Each structure stands twice: as C-alpha cells, then as structure tokens.
Amino acid sequence: MTTETDRLLVQRCLGGDARAFEELLENYKNQIYSFIRRLIENPQDAEDQTQETFIKAFRRLDSYDPAYPFITWLFRIAHNASVDFLRAKRPQTVSIDDEDAPLELEDKGDCVETAVSVKMETERAERLLASLPPLYREILLLKYHEELTGREMAEVLGIPEGTVKIRLFRARALMREKFNAMARPETAEKSNAVKNFCRKNF
C-alpha cells in the first residue's frame, strides 16, 4: 500500500465510507498482529490488543497526521497498547534453551528438507528475538522487519532519534551476545550476565 493510497482511504473513512476502513484493516492487520505478538507472545492476548489498536485507530482517525505514513501511526498505537499491556502483566522471557515451547509458523520451501531447515532457522530467530527484552525486540522489529526510518521509529516510540540509534546499537549488541551464548553452551555464566542486564533494562 502506498502512502498516497492510505491518505485517500483515510479521507474516505472520515467522509463516512466504512468500506475504506475495512480496506485499511485488511491491508495492515497481519503486520500489526505480528508486531504485537512478538512483543506480547501470547497469541490470544496479541489478537485482543491488535483489535484494540484498530478500534482506537478508527475512533481517533481525525487525529492522524498525513505528514507521516499511516502504518507509522498504526504502529504508534500498537506500541502504546503493547506497553500498557506489558506493564499490567510482566511477561516471561522465553529461554533460548527452551525446547518445550515449539512455535507454529508457516512452512516455506518446496521440499521437506528445505522446509525443515527454513523452519528451524525461523524458530531460532524467533527464540533469539523472544529472549530480548521487549524494549529491544520492538526496535529490531521496526528497523529490520518493518523497515521504518529513524524518524518514523522515533515517532512510533515517542523518543528522540538519537535515543533510537542508541537503543538499536544496544539491541544488536545484546542479540550478538545471545547468539554467541547459544553457539557456545560453555559460556553459561556470560549468558546469565546478559539475562541480568536484560532484567535491569526492562
């Protein structure tokens, strides 16, 4: 969806065209749900918060500033909803060694071997991401998964661009620590130090 198309749809919504909102909903629901789910983790809670996000978006549509892409504004609402939810209910950070919590994701790849390999890689990426505090998870998702610019991320998170850069730097450093800890089991002490660092920063 282009920014211009989104603006036209928002104008139509404000003019009373309900179908325009349904179109926006259809275009962005999976994107917002995936973002919230990777912060909140529980699928049902994530879906509830996604519904809340879109309901709030509909009710506050007249406050949308066309200077920013619509998706940025949606992510802002999703971020606020996730933060409020997480503050009310402190999540359990998934351990990277937890083999009892398989993640259900779609298979990619044409043959079984490729599909299994891709699925394993995806699961590894999901576990790595889930082991980070939500603060760093969301910045990595916004930067690399949603490909937002620094300015857009600052708008979504409500922080200055400089803070975005610092947070991104720390997120990548932490990701590297986690990755290395996973690759080298003998550095369990270092992994614990990283976990303590996570607890302090969340």
Partner 1 sequence: MKDPITDAEIAGLIASLPYYTVAKDFNRKVLAAAGIGAREALPARWKLWAERAVGTMAACWLGTAAFSVSLLVIMNIGDILPVLADPRAFSACVKFYALKAGFLAVDVLGFLSLAKALVVILAGRLNLLPYLAGSTLLAGSVILALSRHPAYARPGAARR
User: Which residues would be at the binding site for partner 1 (CB under 8 A)?
Assistant: 5, 8-9, 11-22, 25-26, 29-31, 33-34, 37-38, 43, 46-47, 50-51, 54-55, 58-59, 62, 105-106, 108, 121-122, 124-126, 128-129, 140-141, 143-145, 147, 172, 175-176, 179-180, 183-184
Range 142-150 contact pairs with CB under 8 angstroms and sequence separation of 24 or more: 142/35, 142/75, 143/168, 145/34, 145/35, 146/31, 146/35, 146/71, 146/75, 148/72, 148/75
Q: Among 21, 138, 39, which Cα is nearest to 85's?
A: 39
Could you give the CA distance from residue 183 to residue 118 in angstroms, rounded to a whole number? 18
Whichever of 97 and 121 has its CB closer to partner 1, that residue is 121
Least gap, CB of 145 to partner 1 (angstroms)? 5
* Least Å from the CB of residue 115 to partner 1: 13
How many residues belong to the chain? 202
The residue assigned the tokens 């999703």 is: 78
CB 66 to partner 1: min, Å: 9
Q: Name the 3-class secondary structure at 107.
A: coil
As given in the structure block, the two tokens for residue 7 are 């603006």
Please state, as a whole number, how many other Cβ atoms lie within 10 Å of the Cβ of residue 105: 11
Q: At its nearest, how many Å lie between partner 1 and the CB of residue 38?
A: 8
Nearer Cβ to partner 1, position 172 or 195?
A: 172
Does residue 87 contact residue 41 with C-beta atoms inside 8 Å? no
| Inter-axis angle of helices 161-183 and 150-157, nearest 10 | 90
CB of 79 to partner 1, least distance (A): 17
> Closest approach of Cβ 90 to partner 1, in Å?
23
